[in-house]
Homo-oligomer: A and B are copies of this chain.
Amino acid sequence: MVIPIKLIFMEKIKVNKKIKIQGWIRTRRSSKIGISFLNIYDGSCIHTIQVIAHSSIKNYSTDVLCLTAGCSISIIGILVLSKGKSQKYEIEAQSITVLGWVNNPKKYPISSKNHTTQYLREVSHLRARTNVIGSICRIRNTLSFELHNFFFKNEYYWIPTPIITSIDTEGSGAMFRVSTLDFKNIPKDVHKNVNFKEDFFGKESFLTVSGQLTLESYACAISKAYTFGPTFRAENSNTSRHLSEFWMVEVEQSFSNLNDIIKLSENIIKYIIKKVLENNADDIYFLEKFSKKNLFKKLTYCIENHFLQIDYIDAIEILKKSNQFKTDNICFGIDLSSLHEKYLVENHFNNPVIITNYPKLLKPFYMRINKDKKTVAAMDILFPEIGEIIGGSQREERIKILDQRINECGLNKKDYKWYRDLRYYGTVPHSGFGLGFERLMSYVTGMSNVKDLIPFPRTVKNSSF
């Protein structure tokens, strides 16, 4: 049986036992006296295991001495305590089989030296072979699994909300069109408009920007629902915080108000970060060195302390008094810029901050109007270094006010016929939120560019691989 390297470092394998491991060469160092030291990784953990190969191995000169970074090999040997100081265990090889050579090692894009993350993006198909992307991969796995685990334990149902849609949930319009029409010969109707009736779905269709509305229809039937899937934004913004295709967790819950959903999101974030600290301590330790940020301290602080909560109107007051911004521009109604958010979260509070009750003009039609008729029962959770990680609200369950908001936002009631049905037939108070998965990962891993946190980033002018 093949042993994952992880099990060795978890002390699950007895010393002096004969074992088989399989993996790839990180480095080889050969001495003149006929010993080679091979460092092998297999992806199961951040550690490499050192393999000692003596010249007595039968393919020593033909194979072992030719091994380079990236070759895949299979090793049978004895697990021993290392005599060297830099590692606890090593394997005394009895046989080594080369499974795959690296053709043209000088051109191998992943050398054992440090590469910039920017360079690694150009070789996204090979970058998982590096320590840094390996660690990110394992942390992503824990975060994703523990999200599902949290929801399963708490009786939320996973709903695969549709990716192809005809509705623009956010009303922003920056959507990708999905079509099978022949681009050389787009069919037109009698008014010379594009005839989408001839398209695959018989009408204009897009990639979803959010699964929220369809998810609400499930929450209004089974009480607690979530979705975790890809979402798409066709905005022409090429920043370290934007992807054209990213993963989002969305939750909708009946019989709940804004406060319920605030508590829920704080609980979820803390739950999954705690799990990462338990499962992936080695990876976090490695990334702490890599990114030169105090990850452990930051994440421990995050799970041990309450997120602060302030009203939008109080946030405005703080910004006014800060002397950092032109006071004239700071007033009720402004959209907080990323500089404003940065100031609040990093300078003023130095803590995750939940901002509630935004002006209705800044938010979409489905958020619940407060008694003041000017604000909505919305909340954003802002994290240091990252900005918005979660956005949510109580949803407008009152059909009359919903209709009014649809009008005010310049939308067409007909387009939302089925959504309005949820209020027309047995409406319930309910609320929900969306969590940007790669942004959360950015916070947890300390990596500042979301492009490094999804295997194959899709951005403006880039759908490579």
**Which A positions have Cβ atoms within 8 angstroms of B?**
2, 4, 6, 22-25, 42-44, 70-72, 74, 99-104, 108-110, 124-126, 128-129, 133-134, 137-138, 140-141, 144-145, 148-149, 151-152, 155, 157-167, 176-181, 183-184, 186, 193-194, 200-203, 205, 207, 214, 217-218, 220-224, 229-230, 232, 234, 244-245, 247, 254-255, 397, 399, 418-419, 421-429, 454-456, 458, 460-465
Contact = CB atoms under 8 A, between A and B. Distances in A.
Contacts of A176: 164, 178-180, 200
Contact of A164 (B44, B200, B458): B458
A128 B188 CA distance: 38
What are the nearest 5 A-B pairs in CB distance?
A: A43-B222, A100-B427, A128-B221, A202-B461, A201-B463
Contacts of A214: 125, 455-456, 465
A97 to B, nearest CB: 11
B125 A418 contact: yes
Contacts of A155: 4, 6, 44
Contacts of A128: 217-218, 221-222
A173 to B, nearest CB: 11
Given A128-B221, A207-B178, A221-B134, A255 B201 contact: no
B134 A222 contact: yes
Given A155-B6, A183-B194, A455 B161 contact: yes
A428 to B, nearest CB: 4
Given A99-B429, A141-B157, 9 more contacts: A101-B426, A128-B221, A162-B245, A179-B179, A180-B234, A184-B194, A200-B460, A200-B461, A217-B465
Contact of A138 (B126, B157, B160, B193): B157
A253 B47 CA distance: 20
28 contacts: A4-B155, A22-B255, A24-B221, A42-B222, A43-B157, A43-B223, A43-B224, A99-B429, A125-B418, A125-B419, A145-B148, A159-B455, A160-B230, A160-B247, A160-B455, A163-B163, A163-B245, A164-B176, A164-B245, A165-B465, A166-B463, A177-B178, A184-B186, A186-B186, A200-B460, A201-B461, A202-B463, A217-B465
A6 B163 CA distance: 31
Given A200-B234, A463-B203, A425 B126 contact: yes
A221 to B, nearest CB: 4
A95 B134 CA distance: 57
Nearest to A279: B152
B230 A163 contact: yes
A161 B125 contact: no
A245 B161 CA distance: 11
A395 to B, nearest CB: 12
Nearest to A140: B158
